[in-house]
Amino acid sequence: MVVLPRIFGRRRCTGNLEVVSLLITATLCLLVTLQIYLQDKKSQTLREDKILRKQKSEPQTWPDMFLNSVPKCTKNSSASKIQNFSTLPKDIQDFLFYQHCRHFPMLLNNPGKCGGPQNSADVFLLLVVKSSPSNYDRREVLRKTWALERLHSGVWIRTVFISGTTGDGYEKERLNKLLELENREYQDILQWDFVDTFYNLTLKQVLFLEWMERFCPDVHFLLNGDDDIFANTDNMVQYLKGLDDNDGSKHLFTGHLNQYMEPIRQQGSKYFVPVQIHKPEIYPPYCGGGGFLLSQFTSRIIYNMSHSIPLLPIDDAYMGMCLEKAGLQPRHHIGVRTFGLYVPSGQHEAYNPCYYREVLLVHRFLPYQIYIMWHEIHREDLNCTKRTKGNENSEIFMH
Ligand SMILES: *[C@@H]1O[C@H](CO)[C@@H](O)[C@H](O)[C@H]1NC(C)=O
Ligand SMILES: *[C@@H]1O[C@H](CO)[C@@H](O)[C@H](O)[C@H]1NC(C)=O
Ligand SMILES: *[C@@H]1O[C@H](CO)[C@@H](O)[C@H](O)[C@H]1NC(C)=O
Ligand SMILES: *[C@@H]1O[C@H](CO)[C@@H](O)[C@H](O)[C@H]1NC(C)=O
Ligand SMILES: *[C@@H]1O[C@H](CO)[C@@H](O)[C@H](O)[C@H]1NC(C)=O
């Protein structure tokens, strides 16, 4: 009883010291931990900074002509002196004011799409899909289906979506941001700073051909098409590999052939072209713009010809004009059905995968239909032994 308080007292005394030293140690420990944590955090931010800076600095390696050095193209006000100008629709007037503009700065580029110009012969088929900024859902589904970048039967398929800008002010900024985000994830968008309208599709096409000559000059073949088609790219590779000259060094331009087509002179039509823009009453033969295949050889010639032919607001007919000037003919391919398939009986049969397994291309598909069909035609248990009417498939791979 006597000892206890003493011991207790002593312990209490040392206890105080222990508590104090414990507190000091703890505080020191805390400080050291905090210091380490802060240093860690700092170096992590530095690392992120470096990555960001690296990403940001990439565009600066683009050749000058594709950035700021493109002079802003000015409106040709004297276009309004064209006969009966004031009676023309607003978008045709707009076309005439800016018809001479052929150079626009790039907002998004992928200079390394084909592994650099000198390695671009490694790309067998480049899929070039015209897509305007808001068609996000279409691009998403194409990336998962027929436009998936891949090695197929020993050759490379690569994809670019080509786009201008749409919307005004804030909306335009947001849509540009969307493309930037997509491009960061997939590296598959080429975007120029022009207004993406129907009458500007020829401009888009010519800008692409210019881009290709610079960044992917030795690609063998191109599929040029819209973002609402179903393209059986497996079959396309098979067809192109089967050609006598399958390195793209010979003339090839094939799709759904349109002949003896007349410019539409009715105001109000989507395809309206007044005589002030195109005088002849007939277009040269051309392939429907929904989708066509061409060789590297032919794409270079078309680009070369385009310099001396004023832009026409109808992009596919313009390709025909370039071919005609070069003395080359477009050809019909039975597997390209830009006007849809003729399917004899009803709704159900219209989506019979046996038809789509055999064609090269069909126009006008909704994103979900593309998704389903791509999976259906690749099903291992798909049995197409029973010949379906209207499906003369053996002709498709013959030229
Ligand atoms: C401007 O339009 C007029 C009338 O069509 C044309 O004669 C002239 O060549 C155009 N100028 C340019 C730079 O395209
Ligand atoms: C211009 O309008 C006049 C009167 O409507 C018409 O006679 C003439 O053919 C038109 N010219 C062109 C090039 O459209
Ligand atoms: C084509 O793009 C240019 C550049 O953005 C624009 O000024 C012009 O209005 C567009 N033309 C049409 C017909 O939309
Ligand atoms: C078009 O081809 C000709 C003949 O090969 C060549 O002289 C000319 O420079 C080419 N033009 C362009 C713009 O590529
Ligand atoms: C496919 O269908 C045909 C006719 O219905 C049948 O004779 C054939 O055995 C089937 N083949 C397979 C692999 O199921």
Q: Write the pLDDT tens digit of every residue in 166-179.
A: 999 999 999 999 99
Span from the CA of 356 to the centroid of ligand 3 (angstroms): 37
Structure tokens at 8: 């207790």
Cβ of 383 below 6 Å from ligand 2 = no
For ligand 3, pick from 74, 77, 197 the residue to mutate: most ligand atoms within 8 Å of CB. 197
| Distance in angstroms (rounded) separating the CA atoms of residues 342 and 33 | 74
Residue with the smallest CA separation from ligand 3 atom 7 is: 98
| Distance in angstroms (rounded) separating the CA atoms of residues 374 and 380 | 12
> What is the model's pLDDT at position 261?
97
Instruction: Name the pLDDT band for 19 (thresholds 50, 70, 90).
Output: low
> What is the model's pLDDT at position 352?
86
Please, are residues 98 and 199 in contact by the beta-carbon 8 Å criterion? no
Q: What is the CA radius of gyration of the chain?
A: 31
Identity of the residue numbered 182: E
Segment 105-113 shows an average pLDDT of: 97
Span from the CA of 354 to the centroid of ligand 5 (angstroms): 13
> What is the model's pLDDT at position 46?
41
| Distance in angstroms (rounded) separating the CA atoms of residues 142 and 86 | 42
For residue 388, the SS3 value is coil
Please, are residues 187 and 179 in contact by the beta-carbon 8 Å criterion? no
> What is the model's pLDDT at position 238?
97
Q: Using one digit for the tens of pLDDT, what is the confidence trace for 249-281?
A: 999 999 999 999 999 999 999 999 999 999 999
Q: Which residue would you say has higher pLDDT here, 68 or 222? A: 222
Other beta carbons less than 10 A from residue 217's beta carbon: 15
pLDDT at residue 342 tops 70:
no
Structure tokens at 234: 């497996």
Q: Which residue would you say has higher pLDDT here, 82 or 12? A: 82
Instruction: Tell me the CA end-to-end span of the chain in Å, nearest whole number.
Output: 114
Residue with the smallest CA separation from ligand 3 atom 14 is: 197
Question: Residues with Cβ within 6 A of ligand 1?
Answer: 76, 78-79, 81-82, 100
For residue 131, the SS3 value is coil
pLDDT at residue 154 tops 50:
yes
Structure tokens at 398: 């013959």
Residue with the smallest CA separation from ligand 5 atom 7 is: 385
From 294-303, 319-328, 382-391, the region with the lowest mean pLDDT: 382-391
Residue with the smallest CA separation from ligand 5 atom 5 is: 386
Cβ of 91 below 6 Å from ligand 3 = yes
Span from the CA of 309 to the centroid of ligand 2 (angstroms): 25
Specify which of 34-38, 222-226, 381-385, 393-397 reaches the highest per-range mean pLDDT. 222-226
Instruction: Name the pLDDT band for 338 (thresholds 50, 70, 90).
Output: confident
Instruction: Name the pLDDT band for 18 (thresholds 50, 70, 90).
Output: low
Segment 303-325 shows an average pLDDT of: 98
Handedness of CA 279, 282, 287, 288 (dihedral sign): positive
Span from the CA of 105 to the centroid of ligand 3 (angstroms): 14
Identity of the residue numbered 127: L
Span from the CA of 83 to the centroid of ligand 2 (angstroms): 7
Segment 115-138 shows an average pLDDT of: 98
Structure tokens at 145: 């289906």
Instruction: Name the pLDDT band for 348 (thresholds 50, 70, 90).
Output: low
Beta-carbon contacts of 363 under 8 Å, excluding residues fewer than 6 positions away, are 226, 228, 229, 288, 290, 291, 337, 338, 339, 340
Q: Which residue would you say has higher pLDDT here, 278 or 45? A: 278
| Distance in angstroms (rounded) separating the CA atoms of residues 62 and 341 | 43
> What is the model's pLDDT at position 68?
56
For residue 192, the SS3 value is strand
Q: Token pair 């690569």 is at which residue?
A: 158
Cβ of 70 below 6 Å from ligand 3 = no
pLDDT at residue 354 tops 50:
yes
Beta-carbon contacts of 136 under 8 Å, excluding residues fewer than 6 positions away, are 178, 182
302: exposed, middle or buried (Cβ count in 10 Å: 0-12, 13-18, 19+): buried
Cβ of 83 below 6 Å from ligand 2 = yes
Please, are residues 105 and 221 in contact by the beta-carbon 8 Å criterion? no
> What is the model's pLDDT at position 61?
47
Span from the CA of 381 to the centroid of ligand 5 (angstroms): 10
For residue 311, the SS3 value is coil
Instruction: Name the pLDDT band for 360 (thresholds 50, 70, 90).
Output: very high
Strand runs labelled E in 203-261 = 221-226, 230-231, 253-255, 257-258
Q: Which atom of ligand 5 is nearest to the CA of 386?
A: 4
pLDDT at residue 396 tops 80:
no
